[in-house]
Structure 1
Amino acid sequence: MPYIPVEEHLPGITGLLEYRKDSAEPIRNLTQVLLRGPSTLTEGERELIATIVSHNNNCRFCTSAHTAAADLLYEDASVAEQVKRDIESAPVSEKMKALLTIAKQVQQSGKNVTAQAVDRAKGAGATDIEIHDTVLIAALFCLYNRYVDGLATVTPHAPEFYEGLAERIVNHGYTRLPQGYDHLKKK
């Protein structure tokens, strides 16, 4: 049961963002830029960064949502699962393995990011902006994970919920739907 009153039809982060739209707008905009804006990292790769951070923060809602989005973008339900299980054996590029390692270090503490991890990423072809964006995405998802879990939002169990959420994320991004979310209310 959430610690504050949020709309029942909006579990997880969406209910919190609707609760306080004024603070939600800049967070949504930043997320849209980082995960859907122009980048040399694919949208799927950026979703994997969100997934690994959320997974290691034990945030079930965010892990499920971003795993589903990565699955949809990769058209493969195994990539995110393998990344969560073991980055080094996952079917991603060496550059992504290095960036995901940096994201995992940020998840623990910004001070845990090592020069060796950054050198590895650069050696695998990561650009300075890709390293920057990885750190910022990881930090942003630490915020989201703590926001969702810190207010005890509702976390659906049904995979179908996250599949629908992933379609909304992939097709509409992270900005608020122009029509809002009343259409999600159960009739």
Structure 2
Amino acid sequence: MAHIDLGLDETRFPGINGPLRYRPETGKPLLDLAEALLRGPHPLSEGERELIAAYVSWLNECDYCGNSHAAFAAAQLEDGATVVDLVRAGLDAAPVSAKLRALLRIAAAVQASGRGVTRDLVAAARAEGATDLEVHDTVLIAAAFCMYNRYVDGLGTFAPTDPQAYANAADRITRHGYHS
């Protein structure tokens, strides 16, 4: 049970969904941000951006967000579940592009401390073909997910243990977006 009464059935609105409904005046801008960062037009695929969100959430040990965005990434990447599992097991050996690996390293640096993003990390990403937009949005996705993770865990919201709950959410998100 969440630390505060969200006024709804947590099993029906797990994780961030309950708090977003509890305060729709703050929930809508948070959903708008997620929609723009993870689903809007971009040189990185939706699956790649979801993988960045999942990676940061894993580093933050946020079960709900890690499982959710891993499912969203898996649903949108070629060989999705395998790629997601291998990234989670170890970035260095994961079957992702060198560019995405460099961007995930930037995301990890943001998760630890924004000041952890160095010129060398950015140069390494650029050397693999990352654009300034991709670096910018990786930093913003990582920073936003640090906030989302702390929002979910700070309120002690319910995280399902059944993988099917995340698969169902992935189907909804990939078809209708974050405002569904």
Q: Same fold (TM over 0.5)?
A: yes
RMSD: 0.8
Which residue of structure 2 lines up, in the alignment, with residue 34 of structure 1?
37
Structure 2 residue 95 is matched with structure 1 residue 91: yes
The residue that corresponds to 2:13 in the other structure is 10
The answer to whether structure 1 residue 77 and structure 2 residue 81 are counterparts is yes
Paired with 1:155 and 1:27, the residues of 2 have a C-alpha distance of: 19
**Are positions 1:169 and 2:173 aligned together?**
yes
- Take 1:4 and 1:108, find their aligned partners in 2: how far apart are those partners? 28
C-alpha distance in structure 2 between counterparts of 1:90 and 1:137, whole Å: 20
Q: 1:147 matched to which residue of 2?
A: 151
- Percent of aligned pairs with the same residue? 50
Find runs of 4+ consecutive structure 1 residues off by over 4 angstroms. none
Residue 133 of structure 1: how far off its partner (Å): 0.2
Amino acid corresponding to residue 74 of structure 2 in structure 1: D
Partner secondary structure for residue 41 of structure 1: coil
What residue identity is the alignment partner of 1:55? W
Aligned to 1:49: 52
Query: Normalising to structure 1: TM-score of the pair?
Result: 0.92
Q: Which residue of 2 aligns with 1:62?
A: 65
Number of equivalenced pairs: 176
| SS at 2:57 equivalent | helix
SS in 2 for 1:78: helix
Q: Structure 2 unaligned runs (5+)?
A: none
Shift of 1:152: 0.2
Rounded Cα–Cα distance in structure 1 between residues aligned with 2:31 and 2:166? 19
CA distance in 2, matches of 1:11, 1:37: 24
Query: Aligned with 1:155: secondary structure?
Result: coil
Measure the CA separation in 1 of the matches of 2:118 and 2:127: 14
Structure 1 residue 137: Cα displacement: 0.4
Per-residue CA deviations over 1:90-148 (Å, capped at 9, x if unaligned) read 11100000000000110111011111110000000000000000000000000000000
- In 2: Cα distance, 1:92 partner to 1:73 partner: 14
Give SS of 2:161's match. Answer: coil
